[in-house]
Chain A
Amino acid sequence: NAGVTQTPKFQVLKTGQSMTLQCAQDMNHEYMSWYRQDPGMGLRLIHYSVGAGITDQGEVPNGYNVSRSTTEDFPLRLLSAAPSQTSVYFCASSYRAGADTQYFGPGTRLTVL
C-alpha cells in the first residue's frame, strides 16, 4: 500500500491564482480530512469527509473547496489564492470517522506571493 499520497510536494502561486491540491489513499478509508499547519500553530482542520459524496467544514474552511466523488480521492481547491494561505497542507485518512488513528500524507508546501 502507498498509504496517503499528496501532490504536488511544493507549489508557488501568485495572488488570485487557483489550484487543486491532490490527495489519494489506497487503504479503503471512509474518513479523509485536510489540515493546514503554520509556524507556531497546531494543525487546523479545513474540511473533512466521512464518505464518498459527503463533506463538511472544519475550523478554517474559508477560501477552500472540497469534493469527494470516490472513496480514494479528496482534492482541496484554492479558489483565489491569498498570501494568508501560505502554509503546509496535510491530508489525513482513517478507516472510519471516529477511529483512533489518522494516517497523514507527506504534505504540500504552498507559497502564495
Chain B
Amino acid sequence: GQSLEQPSEVTAVEGAIVQINCTYQTSGFNGLFWYQQHAGEAPTFLSYNVLDGLEEKGRFSSFLSRSKGYSYLLLKELQMKDSASYLCAVRDPPGGYNKLIFGAGTRLAVHP
C-alpha cells in the first residue's frame, strides 16, 4: 500500500524561502505530484517528479529522492498569495490508471 506524510502547517515571512516536505512509503513508485489548493478552491497541479533531483519552475521547485522516499517543494520569494495548502500525491498502484493517493496537505501561512 501507499502512505504519505506531510507537516500539517508551516509559517513563513513574505519574501523568504520555505520548504515543504513529503515522505512516502510505497510498494512501488511511479512519480510524485504536488498540488496547490487555496482555501475553498480546487487543487491545481504544480509539479510531477519521476526522476531524482530538483526541477525548477519559476519561484517553485520540487525535489525527489527515490532512495529516501522523500520529496520537497521549495517556494522562493514568498508572496501573500502563496498562502494555501500544498498536497503531495503518488500513484496507486504504481503505473496504474492515475489513481492518486494524497497526503493530508501542508497549510502554508505567509505573513508580512
Contact B98 A31 (CB under 8 A): yes
Report how many residues on chain A are interfacial, defined by Cβ distance under 8 Å.
26
Beta-carbon nearest neighbor of A3 in chain B: B42
Segment from B13-21, B55-63, B71-79, B99-107 that makes contact with A? B99-107
Contact A104 B103 (CB under 8 A): no
* B78-108 interface bits toward A, Cβ cutoff 8 Å, 1 = contact, 0 = none: 0000000001010000011111111111000
Interface residues of A (CB under 8 A from B): 31, 33, 40-45, 48, 50, 56, 58-59, 90, 94, 97-107
Given known A42-B105, A100-B31, A100-B48, contact A31–B41 (CB-CB < 8 A): no
CA distance A50 to B89 in the complex (A): 19
* 21 examples of A-B residue contacts, CB within 8 angstroms: A31-B97, A31-B98, A33-B99, A40-B104, A41-B104, A42-B87, A42-B104, A43-B43, A44-B102, A45-B99, A48-B97, A56-B97, A58-B99, A94-B98, A98-B98, A99-B98, A100-B45, A102-B45, A102-B100, A104-B42, A107-B42
Contact A50 B97 (CB under 8 A): yes
Question: Is B11 an interface position by the 8 A CB rule?
Answer: no
- Interface hits, B1-56 → A, CB 8 Å: 4, 8, 31, 33, 41-45, 48
Report how many residues on chain B are interfacial, defined by Cβ distance under 8 Å.
23
CA distance A94 to B89 in the complex (A): 16
Cβ–Cβ < 8 Å partners of B100 in chain A = 43, 45, 102
Cβ–Cβ < 8 Å partners of A50 in chain B = 97
Given known A31-B98, A41-B104, A42-B104, contact A101–B42 (CB-CB < 8 A): no
Contact B97 A97 (CB under 8 A): yes
Most A CB contacts (10 A, CB to CB) among B8, B33, B43, B98 go to B98
CA distance A97 to B98 in the complex (A): 6
